[in-house]
Amino acid sequence: MENLTLARLLHIIVVMLWIGGVAMVTTVIIPAAKAIRSPEERITFFRKIESRFSIQAKITTLITGLTGFYMLYEMNAWDRYLDYHFWWLHAMTFVWLLFTVLLYVLEPLILEKLLNKYAIKESQKTFQILHNVHWGLLILSLITIAGAVAGSHGWFIFK
């Protein structure tokens, strides 16, 4: 198997694990946490599960970035950033960058402190905001995946 094919295969698998995990957190874990009445139990439940996914998300976003940039390099496809037909490439890069900043910078430096501060005293509101943000990230990710699959197979929305 050639290196480019292997990179593409690995890229798709880690994106599935990453965004599939985001879907699981958004549609199952946060709603389950919100259903717990005690704010202390709610945050304990959420942290226990989310901390495990956080490790997976960090590893998969790292591998996604490495394989994505490797494919661009190997294909010498940097000029696609200048062509609006490849809007999905911009979207993929944006989603990857957004999650990378969230996971590696904002979460440990800011978001963790905010969660500690508000998860108990404003629990319902905090978890609703958390849920809304996850829905936004999931929808953006799914639009990007749909565009990437369609665009990489020659279907362009804008002709």
What is the pLDDT averaged over residues 117-126?
88
Question: Average of pLDDT values for 51-74?
Answer: 95
Query: How high is the pLDDT of residue 148?
Result: 92
* pLDDT (mean) for 80-91: 92
| CB atoms inside a 10 Å sphere around CB 100 | 16
Is residue 106 within 8 A of residue 112, CB to CB? The reply is no
108 in Cβ contact with 57 (< 8 Å)? no
pLDDT one-digit tens code per residue, 30-42: 999 999 999 999 9
Average pLDDT over residues 66-81: 96
Single pTM value for the model: 0.90
Q: Angle, nearest 10°, between helix axes 39-75 and 87-101?
A: 140
| Structure confidence at residue 114 (pLDDT) | 87
Residue 120 and residue 113: Cα distance in Å, rounded? 12
Distance CA 63, CA 76 (A): 19
